[in-house]
Amino acid sequence: MMPTLFIDTVSKRYERNRWALREFSLRMEAGVLGLVGPNGAGKTTLLKMLATLLRPTEGHITWNGQNILRHPEMVRRVLGYVPQDFGVYPQISARMFLRYLGELKGLRGTQLRQRIDAVLEMVGLSADADRRLKTFSGGMVRRLGIAQALLNEPRLLVLDEPTVGLDPAERVRFREMLPSLSGERIVILSTHIISDIEVTATHLALLNQGRLNWTGTPEALLADAAGSLWTLTIPQAEFERWRARYRVSSAIPRGGRVEMRILAAHQPHPQAIPAHPTLEEAYLLFQEAMGPEERAEAFVSPTQVP
């Protein structure tokens, strides 16, 4: 049976007047959801609720039709979770650490040994499996966090900023690995780095100030941004004036001139050339199109993500 996750008008309040999440609704089936938003948008709060670590103030969450607040063990058996802050026991090896966590997940014997070898290979830590964790770099610890989340072959994989601390090569490895993790499972990847999900996410959910502002496919977001990106090369002395007037997504100096990519609904200069936006630029355009009040109040009603 294909997994189904339904988040129904979920809100979370930490203090009397401080809501971390407001009326969030989304329905998901198998695939990779990129949960995108600035720091403080409510992403971590939502993922902690999916991992049964927090209870919503309002609303409910169901997994395959069962309320996870009433039946938390049901979802924990099929859950893989990488928290934003992942701690380890520094005196033991990576293999011992995974063995300990695997046993907590109910794995034993040959099955556990095979899964440890498999996940270490997936994250590129096989050669370092017997080193003490106190000798690991921050990026290696992060990869170990991803490995432990995969031990029980989860149907629901929740990743909170999994590429934080990874160097460029490690981030590329993660992006290459992510499509192989999807299959008949739901993967939710929270990030504020659009390039981490540009080639892996099947759907996006854009959050701001605790509310869901937009949801759809990456292709739909790119289509919304079509015709709003331009390239223009100007003298370097004029760059600050242009940057003050327009949103510039990139600027490359070239021998006394600057090649800019400009976000604008209309052609900013007769010599400006239309360009295809990246997913990051499409996201910036979406944010630019919303005023401060709209960013705070926008809400998308319950949405199916197939």
CB 245 within 8 A of CB 251: no
Q: Which residues pair with 207 in a beta bridge?
A: 212
Identify the domain boundary among 144, 165, 182.
144
- Of the candidates 199, 203, 197, 207, the one whose C-alpha atom is nearest the C-alpha of residue 216 is 203
- DSSP for 1-50? ----EEEEEEEEEEETTEEEEEEEEEEE-SEEEEEE--TTSSHHHHHHHH
Residues 266 and 172 in one domain: no
Residues 19 and 60 in one domain: yes
Residues 5 and 53 in one domain: yes
Render pLDDT for 28-72 as a digit per residue (tens, 0 to 9): 999 999 999 888 899 999 999 999 999 999 999 999 999 999 999
> Which range of residues forms the domain containing residue 68?
1-78+154-216+299-306
Residue 170 has pLDDT above 60, yes or no: yes
253 φ/ψ angles, rounded to the nearest 5 degrees:
-70, 135
Is residue 265 in some structural domain? yes
The pTM (predicted TM-score) of the whole model is 0.86
Residues 247 and 162 in one domain: no
What total number of domains does the chain contain?
A: 3
Is residue 149 in some structural domain? no
Residue 301 has pLDDT above 60, yes or no: no
Average pLDDT, the chain: 89
Residues 255 and 128 in one domain: no
Residues 161 and 209 in one domain: yes
Residues 85 and 164: their CA atoms lie apart, in Å, by 10
Identify the domain boundary among 121, 144, 167.
144
Residues 129 and 245 in one domain: no
Render pLDDT for 211-225 as a digit per residue (tens, 0 to 9): 999 999 999 999 999
Tell me the pLDDT band of 305, cut-offs 50, 70 and 90.
very low
Residues 163 and 47 in one domain: yes
Residues 8 and 41: their CA atoms lie apart, in Å, by 18
In the block, residue with structure tokens 């109910």:
106
Residues 33 and 167 in one domain: yes
Residues 36 and 107 in one domain: no
pLDDT of residue 84: 87
Residues 183 and 107: their CA atoms lie apart, in Å, by 22
226 φ/ψ angles, rounded to the nearest 5 degrees:
-60, 135
Residues 61 and 30 in one domain: yes
